[in-house]
Amino acid sequence: MALPSLQPRRLGRYRDLALILFKYGRSDLFSRAGLEEILAEDLPPSEPGAAAPEELARDLERLGPTFVKLGQVLSTRADLLPDPYLSALARLQDSVGPIPFADVEKTLHEELGARTSKAFREFDPAPLAAASLAQVHRAVLRDGRAVAVKVQRPGVRLQAADDLEVLESVAALAERVSATAARYEVGRLVREFRATLLRELDYRIEAENLRILGRNLEAFKRMFVPQPVADYSTSRVLTMDYVAGTKVTALSPLVLSEIAAGELADALFAAYLQQIFVDGFFHADPHPGNLLVTRDGRLAMLDLGMVAHLTPRFQDLLLQLLTAIAEGRGDEAAKHAVRLGEARDDFRPEEFERRMRELVGGQRDASVSQLATGRLVLQMTRVAAETGLRLPAESMLLGKTLLSLDEISRRLDPDFRPQAAFRSHVETIVQHRVVGALKPENAWTALLEMKDLTQQLPRRANQILERLAEGDVPVRVEGLDQAGFMSACQKIANRITVGLLLAALIVGAALALRVDTDFRVLGYPGLAMILFMLAACGALGLIYTIVFRDE
């Protein structure tokens, strides 16, 4: 099979990636991911300390916005990378120097069809924040509404498109020359990243995400989602409510006590449970920079470029999985995880179940300072990958989201217990899911499925009856656990034998009562009383074993 062609005009980018491989090829980054076979055998080892995780993060920052975003996505892949790299990539900041204000005005004029001075009453030329994809300015509309205007950097879409093509070419090459890269589906990872980045570059999608999340969290009075201004928003410009607030990491202990930070942490946790298990739509990037505490004590959620959608089946299985984890039931957690994922040919179920028991056991009432729920989920994805179970990409993104929530909760309330909070809210979640299943739109879906069943039932029943009449019914026999089966048979045989011996002792004692001897116990013939006492002790022991030890 021919290898993918490399385009000469992108040789500079290929060289940059080759340098990354050269630099980190012998580090624990590639050996942990199992990708060292991609590299040439004669690749020299890196110098000691040269492949530090923090340096990898800086190298990705130097490669530009596409690779910064790639690093942030890789920070969710606990099944691929070691913990030090996950932590370093999770802290990647895509803040860069601001672009000239003339470029901002040009973009606004192209997108809004009017000069900045005409579209806004006030527009601060100094940005509130500057990132690799965009920068944000504070402005005031003509009607006096304070807004934040997010303006995309010029040329970033073209640069992202070129970088994505480079990554796709390299991923295709890696999958063809490396069985490990094919097993970890590097190409699928790049395709998922491409879809995520392109959605993030279209601000119309982010505006719709703000509207959806705002509606879904209306009942949470301590949560605030800024709403977009439709007439001032396009694919490259997003105008939304301005939020004046403080990052969670910058709050003093006095302020935390004034705003009842423990209640705020519980409200945030409950809001995410609602998003994940009821709405099936959640904000997937809740790091401290995207969560601000407002002056009135609410928590504002910003930057909805990265969101995730969950199917009803995924929600049901995930709810069962996290319930088992919260209650410390490792065996059940392992079973739900297997149903959630897809077993590869090399899946080792016994090892996965054993490691899940070790992972979940003893975590029931740990505080957030002792246990990170998100890290537990990410560790589960790593255990799954190492034992041959492929979990959905949503589970890894969910683990990253929960990991960020753990950090926020720790900042707000060091004694906050996510497991206990989950158990306290799970009843409400189940009620919402049951009520949601009874909604008219879901009822119509059930009726249509019932209609299909009614139409197909006679034909299928006729096929079954014909095969029964012809004796053409295949029988599938699943192998039994022979060791367990033989052990059960031995128990039954032993019980029957003991019962017969006890019965014989009782009969013998009754016959011995008729034999008159000088040896007596409690006024009765001694031999008969000894046989009766042996029978009584044996019967009590058998009853105890049956009642208290048998399952």
Which residue in 359, 394, 400, 363 sits closest to 378, CA to CA?
A: 400
Return the ∠ at Cα 194 (arms to 192 and 195), rounded to 5°. 65
Give the Cα separation of 363 and 370 in Å (integer): 9
Give the Cα separation of 423 and 326 in Å (integer): 7
CA torsion sign for 188, 320, 211, 401 is negative
Query: 338 and 354 in contact (C-beta within 8 Å)?
Result: no
Query: 512 and 525 in contact (C-beta within 8 Å)?
Result: yes
Count the Cβ atoms, other than its own, within 10 Å of residue 534.
Answer: 16
Give the Cα separation of 388 and 468 in Å (integer): 39
Between the two ends of the chain, the Cα-to-Cα distance in Å is: 58
CA distances 479 to 476, 482, 483, 544, 551, Å, are 10, 8, 12, 33, 22
Active site residue 285: yes
The pairing of strands 389-390 and 342-343 is antiparallel
Which tokens sit at 537?
């002790």
Query: 284 and 397 in contact (C-beta within 8 Å)?
Result: yes
Catalytic residue among 163, 285, 303, 413: 285
The alpha-helical segments, DSSP class H, found in 287-392 are 312-326, 330-340, 349-360, 373-386
Q: Three-class SS of residue 292?
A: strand
Which residue in 272, 229, 199, 230 sits closest to 425, CA to CA?
A: 272
Q: Three-class SS of residue 115?
A: coil
Give the Cα separation of 303 and 207 in Å (integer): 10
Count the Cβ atoms, other than its own, within 10 Å of residue 441.
Answer: 7
Which residue in 339, 355, 348, 431 sits closest to 392, CA to CA?
A: 339
Report the catalytic residues: 285
